[in-house]
Amino acid sequence: MTPDRHEFHRLGSSHVLLTGATGFLGQATLEKLLSSHPETRVSVLIRPRPNQPAQRRFDGLLRKPVFRELRERLGEEELRRIAAERVTVIEGDLGEVTLPGDIDVVVHGASTVSFDPPIDEAFRTNVSGVVTLYEALRKAGADPHVVHVSTAYVAGVRKGVVPEARLDHTVDWRTELEGALATRADVERDSRRPEVLRKSVSRAQGEHRKAGPQSVVAAAEEARQEWVTDRLVDYGRARAQSLGWPDVYTFTKALGERAAEELWGERRLSIVRPAIVESSLRHPHPGWIDGYKMADPLIIAYGRGILPEFPGLPDSVVDIIPVDHVVNATLAVAAAPPERGTPAYFHVGSGSRNPLPFRGLYENVRDYFRKHPMPAGERGHIRVPQWRFPGSRQVEMMLSGSERATAMAERALLRLPASGKTREWMTAVHRQQTNLDFLRRYADLYQAYTQAEVIYDDSRTHALHRTIPPELVDEFGFDPSVIDWGHYLQEVHSPSVTELMRGFSRGRGGGSRRSAAPALPERTDIAAVFDLEGTIVASNLIESYLWARLSSLPRSQWGGELADLARSLPRYLRAERRDRGDFVRAFLRRYEGADMAQLRDLVDDTLGDALLQRVMPEAVRRIRAHRAAGHKTILITGTVDVFVRPLAGLFDEVVASRMHTRDGVLTGYLDSPPLVDEARAAWLRRHAADTGIDLDGSYAYADSYSDRPLLEAVGNPGAVNPDPSLYRHAKRKHWRIYEWGAHTRGRGDVLMDTITGTVSAR
């Protein structure tokens, strides 16, 4: 039934059930109902969250920017009074909820909007959710007009004009739903096959052995779970594409439509299919948006200079529509129900009446960033790239080549010793990898949309728009031909979606390599735990040994000692790569036969000063700051306890290796296993339980990937002059990274100086 162009329908005193009210489109719909439909009653279905019931989530909605204009016009108290009077919050989800029986209209907008979720998750929300909604309506005895919000892209991969009509596929949604929900059990079973598990364990050992056996186990299990997720995502994408849809999102939305037609098509059903929904043109205010939508990550990435090209056709239509147009169209459809048994279909987009080619989108965004470039810290501003639209094959070749080169560079850097220069290179590689991951993800997801050769007919939607009296068009209209793309993209949308990123870039203050230490809370129930080598002192176990050994030998014998150490170095390095504890045990064997009393006197008389000269000033300041704040300071090190005696005054507790002695002579063995990797974390957890320390509020500082468990045991980890593996992990986890003692050299430099005899200059 085509709407009468002389009859403008209003919702009046209808009772509207709104699902998906916390989402982007749902927020805008709720605001429009409250601001422009004063007689309408609204029920919102909201799922509770842990420690956040549905009513509290709704109260939070009223504080969001979408209600800013309404709050300012009515006042905070009046808005809350109106909401309390007109809105009923129903707590639950579509699977388990009791609905009122007097509902006149349902606007069903709840769905997952991710393009590539695991197949079972997509079906559970976009298909099962539809089924349970109609079952709940039947159970309540309600007979509303249901407005089912879908997407224009349910048409799938095709060319030409798509009519506003029932989809012409023959896919059985029940069979697909049953298969999709059963897929996880199949994939979980496959993930436990020996060949999959061995591959996960082998990779985990290669990357995480230094952090300890439990770290390897955790990484292997995490890899298995990632395998399951990736497999389920691939299942969804492959099944969708095998049937003619670009992704599992559009596939499940299409099946959701078919379920709606079968379950409610004999009553009053309208299906609204928006295209790419973006920020508002006018209402509630120009540029309003909640989070980043489909085009926005690409716009921001282009403005940051990280999209040198993109696999899109310059003449393909990018069907963007402002969110307020979609809301107005949806509510107009809601107020104009079709005849029973004749579902109505409405496309809400711009491609038919005001097409925006991909080239036009690019040119407008390019012009915007040329006028308003993104800041680049101390480097000034970012210069955006010039696209030439070389085609998807060339973009894929460029992307694949860059991915291979970056992976090779990362593997090489992970083998280098820790140093400031290595971390600079790691930063560049990390940034490049992040950019490539972004480009790969969005090229795979959006290629079908930026190469589309399809137009969605909107004759029925336009006819509905023409029923609006001229004096109400500004408030309730949804004709896309009024959109000036240059104005919208350059003066409304782009400023809105880049506002947050610009603030972040300004806040970084130029992106200095040195991370300023955060203010410390004054508490007595938290600890500050420090590693020694590379964190507090710019030295290592080998250098400590040489200080002691060379000081006890005539200068004429130094060459032989250094030569012997050089010959043993490959064995020590292999042990270090394999396990930090193996290295400590192997190296401390060199102390066999040393006199403990003489060694202690040597440290007190001579070597203590040498150690103190290697202490990094930033570390001392940080330790003292923690003590001033009332924190318990703890030193944990694999170094022999006698060597850290000069530093004991800085700490409340020192935990170090203890050498075994027999009649005052060192045997070359330890009294107990060294506190390395996971053993440090285990000691700290036990110590915290015994002394009442709050680990979530505590701090830890270390430089090696073997200290990852210790850092993960506290709420405030700090990677100090980290080695490449720890640096990569810290960047991924967004840990604070400190550059202390930048004037000193890295472990590799000290070791090489030691081996070549530079230490003799002392």
Structure tokens that stand for 656 in this block: 């170090």
407 near 436, Cβ under 8 Å? no
pLDDT, residue 31, reads 97
- Report how far apart, in Å, the C-alpha atoms of 46 and of each of 27, 745, 756 are: 12, 57, 70
Structure tokens that stand for 358 in this block: 């991909």
377 near 510, Cβ under 8 Å? yes
pLDDT, residue 450, reads 75
CA distance 644 to 269: 78
pLDDT, residue 512, reads 39
pLDDT-above-70 percentage for the chain: 86
Report the pLDDT averaged over residues 585-600: 73
CA distance 6 to 250: 35
First and final C-alpha spacing in the chain: 95
Strand partners, 41: 15
DSSP string for 508-568? TTTT-SSPPPPPPP--SS-EEEE--BTTTBS--HHHHHHHHHHHTS-GGGHHHHHHHHHHH
From the DSSP assignment, how many helices (H) and strands (E) are in the chain? 29, 19
Across 351-365, b (16+ Cβ under 10 Å) vs e yields: bbebbbbbbbbbbbb
CB burial of residue 44 (10 Å; 0-12, 13-18, 19+): buried
Check pLDDT > 70 for residue 535.
Answer: yes
Beta strand spans in 216-353 (E) = 269-274, 276-278, 320-322, 344-348
Report the pLDDT averaged over residues 149-176: 94
pLDDT digits (tens, 9 = 90+) for 338-349: 999 999 999 999
CA distance 270 to 164: 11
Q: Which comes out higher in pLDDT, residue 748 or 181?
A: 181
273 near 150, Cβ under 8 Å? yes
C-alpha angle 154/157/160, rounded to 5°?
95
Identify residue 526 by its one-letter amino acid code.
Answer: I
- Report how far apart, in Å, the C-alpha atoms of 193 and of each of 140, 187, 200, 407 are: 47, 10, 11, 28
pLDDT, residue 575, reads 56
Check pLDDT > 70 for residue 745.
Answer: no
Q: Which comes out higher in pLDDT, residue 215 or 605?
A: 215
500 near 303, Cβ under 8 Å? no
What value does the mean pLDDT of the chain take?
A: 85
Structure tokens that stand for 389 in this block: 């639209």
Kindly report whether the peptide bond that precedes residue 284 is cis, defined as omega within 30 degrees of 0.
yes
Residue located via tokens 């897929």: 183
176: CB partners within 8 A, 6+ apart = 123, 127, 239, 255
Low-confidence winner among 252-256, 280-284, 608-612, 623-627 (lowest mean pLDDT): 608-612
Check pLDDT > 90 for residue 719.
Answer: yes
pLDDT grade for 635, boundaries at 50, 70 and 90:
very high
252 near 123, Cβ under 8 Å? yes
pLDDT, residue 50, reads 87
Nearest by Cα to 361 from 320, 390, 323: 320
| Other CB atoms within 10 Å distance of the CB of residue 31 | 23
Q: Do the strands 665-670 and 453-456 form a parallel or antiparallel pair, or are they unpaired?
A: unpaired
704 near 210, Cβ under 8 Å? yes
Report the pLDDT averaged over residues 503-519: 53
For 590-623, the three-class secondary structure string (H helix, E strand, C coil) is HHCCCEHHHHHHHHHHHHHHHHHHCECHHHHHHH
pLDDT, residue 759, reads 33
| Other CB atoms within 10 Å distance of the CB of residue 612 | 12
The radius of gyration of the chain's CA atoms, rounded to the nearest angstrom, is 33
Rounded to the nearest 10°, the torsion over CA 746, 727, 440, 219 is: 130
Give the predicted TM-score (pTM) of the model: 0.79
Q: Which comes out higher in pLDDT, residue 120 or 640?
A: 120
CA distance 333 to 264: 16
Structure tokens that stand for 424 in this block: 């600079």
Check pLDDT > 70 for residue 743.
Answer: no
For residue 756, how far is the Cα from the chain centroid? Answer: 46
DSSP string for 13-62? T-EEEEESTTSHHHHHHHHHHHHH-TT-EEEEEE--BTTB-HHHHHHHHT
pLDDT, residue 128, reads 93
328 near 334, Cβ under 8 Å? no
CA distance 675 to 668: 17
CA distance 225 to 182: 17
Q: Which comes out higher in pLDDT, residue 714 or 665?
A: 714
pLDDT, residue 44, reads 95
Report the pLDDT averaged over residues 15-41: 94
CA distance 158 to 457: 14
Check pLDDT > 80 for residue 562.
Answer: no
- Residue 149's SS3 state is strand
Report the pLDDT averaged over residues 221-235: 94
CA distance 549 to 591: 9
Nearest by Cα to 638 from 545, 749, 550, 571: 545
Check pLDDT > 50 for residue 621.
Answer: yes
Structure tokens that stand for 319 in this block: 């069907």
CA distance 420 to 6: 73
Check pLDDT > 60 for residue 744.
Answer: no
344 near 50, Cβ under 8 Å? no
pLDDT, residue 607, reads 64
In 3-state terms the chain splits into helix, strand, coil percentages (rounded to 5) of 55, 15, 30
- Residue 70's SS3 state is helix
Nearest by Cα to 531 from 680, 345, 327, 381: 680
Q: Which comes out higher in pLDDT, residue 592 or 461?
A: 461
Report the pLDDT averaged over residues 457-465: 96
pLDDT grade for 394, boundaries at 50, 70 and 90:
confident
pLDDT, residue 756, reads 36
Report the pLDDT averaged over residues 157-163: 91
Report the pLDDT averaged over residues 562-579: 63
Low-confidence winner among 38-52, 537-551, 575-589 (lowest mean pLDDT): 537-551
Residue located via tokens 């050992």: 205
pLDDT, residue 656, reads 86
255: CB partners within 8 A, 6+ apart = 123, 126, 127, 171, 173, 176, 177
Beta strand spans in 590-652 (E) = 632-640
DSSP class of residue 102?
A: T
CB burial of residue 189 (10 Å; 0-12, 13-18, 19+): exposed
- Report how far apart, in Å, the C-alpha atoms of 744 and of each of 495, 610, 639 are: 45, 14, 20
Check pLDDT > 50 for residue 561.
Answer: yes
CA distance 327 to 33: 10
Low-confidence winner among 36-40, 234-238, 385-389 (lowest mean pLDDT): 385-389
Structure tokens that stand for 199 in this block: 């591959």
150 near 257, Cβ under 8 Å? yes
645 near 608, Cβ under 8 Å? yes
Identify residue 487 by its one-letter amino acid code.
Answer: H
